[in-house]
Amino acid sequence: MLIKTTSSAYDHGVPSEITPTEVYHARRDLLRWMASGAAGATLASWGAREAFAQSVKLPGKNVPLAAVKSPVAGAMSLEKLTDYKDATGYNNFYEFGTDKSDPARNAGTLKTSPWSVEIEGLVKKPGRYALEDLLKLSAMEERIYRLRCVEGWSMVIPWLGYSLSALIKRVEPLGAAKYVEFVTLADPKTMPGVTSRVLDWPYVEGLRLDEAMHPLTLLSFGMYGELLPKQSGAPLRLVVPWKYGFKSGKSIVKIRFTDKQPLTAWNKAAPREYGFYSNVNPGVDHPRWSQASERRIGEDGLFARKRKTLLFNGYEAQVGQLYAGMDLKTYF
């Protein structure tokens, strides 16, 4: 795989423990104000939120999180956060180039406003949802999730967002819906990598409906208390922490509900190397390398001792039941 391995457990941290208290409360007040409609169509725009968020800068350092009991039983992490500069400067986002440093260098051309996401397929409430409408859900659902994740390496990132299930419930899938497909932006004018033949654009990913409904599957619009940087998938991305990073589509423009398993980008390009499920699994090697161990980015460089890879990235207690009875080597 181009994307290697990861590690474990998570914590629903309290936002005020990551963001300075006064900033946290100001952001919450703004979200409530936007959700109430008092801001009006103009002031409640993504641009207004972006202007506010850009005035709040957290240091790009490990921000300590106090131990907080998680709503998801047994999910707790006291590991230090990955440095912001590492999390945002070493990325896989092939729309902006195949080198890990390309996205940070090239993603400035991405236009994130206006933005909308089209919901279609087997749902009762299809339609085009403006980003402002999606963000209004966050006024009630917003949380900081401190998760281990795989982006071609191991990281610990405080994501800002809410469980995708909140949106799924809102659009009401039909009984025939079994899968959710995610389509990301493919704009050759702003994404130089789209002109390459490395993948069949646009980038497509998918989940089984029960995976998409799991509370750890996030619709994320921020990290480290700020808006998502463009190289990290602005303005809206998926985060599925127990799977390899390529399952978490960036810059999403379409969500489709279907009764058939989606043909995803990497599975289509190299089916022997990239399975549909792509759960983190130390027992399933990539055809060209072992995935039994991993390296945490930012820890003493290439010569650092590797960590043992944990099944489901350490979230086995939370998500293992989704795959009960499945042969994980066949359904890799």
Mean pLDDT of 130-140: 79
Rounded to whole angstroms, how far apart are CA atoms 242 and 8?
Answer: 8
Residue 77 amino acid letter: S
Average pLDDT taken over every residue of the chain? 79
Checking if the pLDDT of 332 tops 60, the result is yes
Q: What is the pLDDT of residues 230-273, one digit of tens each?
A: 999 999 999 999 999 999 999 999 999 999 999 999 999 999 99
6/311 Cα distance (integer angstroms): 9
Long-range CB contacts for residues 78-81, cutoff 8 Å, separation at least 24: 78/11, 79/148, 79/156, 80/156, 81/146, 81/156, 81/157, 81/158, 81/224
Domains of the chain with CATH codes? 15-323 (3.90.420.10)
Q: Is the peptide bond before 103 cis (omega within 30 degrees of 0)?
A: no
pLDDT at 327: 97
Confidence of residue 136 (pLDDT cuts 50, 70, 90): confident
Task: Give the pLDDT band (50/70/90) at residue 159.
Answer: confident
pLDDT > 90 fraction of the chain, expressed in percent and rounded: 56
Please tell me the distance from the alpha carbon of residue 90 to that of residue 197, in angstroms, as a whole number: 22
CA dist., res. 221 & res. 204, Å (int): 19
pLDDT at 321: 97
Are residues 227 and 50 in contact, defined by beta-carbon separation less than 8 angstroms? Answer: yes
Q: What is the mean pLDDT of residues 33-57?
A: 36
Q: What is the pLDDT of residues 100-114, one digit of tens each?
A: 999 999 999 999 999
275-326 per-position pLDDT tens digit? 999 999 999 998 888 989 888 888 766 666 788 999 999 899 999 999 999 9
For residue 73, what pLDDT is reported?
55
pLDDT score of 24 more than 90? no
